[in-house]
Amino acid sequence: MHSSSRRGLDEPIVGENTDLQEQYPAPQTRLVPTGKTHALTPAHGKTQLATERRQSCRTWQASPIPLPLVSSFLQRLSAVHESFVAGGLERLNKPIPAAGSIHELEWYIAVGNVSGLDQGLFRYCGFEHTLDAVPDSADAAAEMLQNAGSSMGGTAEVPPALIILATRMPRIAWKYKGMAYRLTLLNAGIALDAMYNTATELDLGGCAIGTGDPRPFQRVTGLSWFEESPVVEFALGLPK
């Protein structure tokens, strides 16, 4: 099911659904109230303003992303504050929540134009707050960035960097039976929302990638679909 929503194995079914568009009218956006309507007072505060300023960015400055911004972005999202064992499994406390505090999502960054970093794929280690380079990954990173640019639409540009979240299903499936895949998707959604808000706070541009091709990642890491499978890609850069 997961591979069918990605490029690679079932490529013909990924993309715009012209079959449904030709047969049915577009579903309406606004639903008609079926009961009494109550007016609410809009809230205004720091968090509210951050979410209101959030927008997807698809064009980028030519300047490299400063490494300190990348460092702050990753620290605010995936730094390990504490590790502990519960139920025979190591759990983690991080800035964002995750089911069972398992945090099965591994954070990677494909680098094209970041100051102080060579082009390539890096894995973020939240324990030591380091970036660990994946050997011989420059070509794979370039392919990931090109795929991200083409996935964002005709006017989009290749992003300077791409965040990849890969799920380690064995970790969460060891704890949760039958619901592990659903939980990893919920965790991915939480992380994606947090990335948008963090990018906004740091004056970075970001855009979630609707589809993607996991093959370059798996080829360069040597990991199988079951060991680690990308579930989120997020373009990152300095907005124009």
Q: From CA 172, how far away is CA 190, in angstroms rounded?
A: 16
Structure pTM?
Answer: 0.87
- Range in 34-38, 88-92, 98-102 with the lowest mean pLDDT: 34-38
The torsion region of residue 88 among left (phi > 0), alpha (psi -120 to 50) and beta comes to left
Q: From CA 182, how far away is CA 78, in angstroms rounded?
A: 21
In this prediction, residues 188-205 reach a mean pLDDT of 96
Confidence label for 1 from pLDDT (cuts 50, 70 and 90): very low
Confidence label for 15 from pLDDT (cuts 50, 70 and 90): low
Using the predicted structure, report yes or no on whether residue 108 has a pLDDT greater than 70: yes
- Give me the chain's average pLDDT, please: 90
β-strands 229-237, 161-167 pairing: antiparallel
Q: Which of 31-45, 48-62, 118-132 has the highest mean pLDDT?
A: 118-132
Q: From CA 98, how far away is CA 113, in angstroms rounded?
A: 30
- Range in 38-52, 82-96, 153-167 with the lowest mean pLDDT: 38-52
Tokens 């109550």 -> residue: 38
Q: What is the pLDDT of residue 238?
A: 98
Q: What is the pLDDT of residue 229?
A: 94
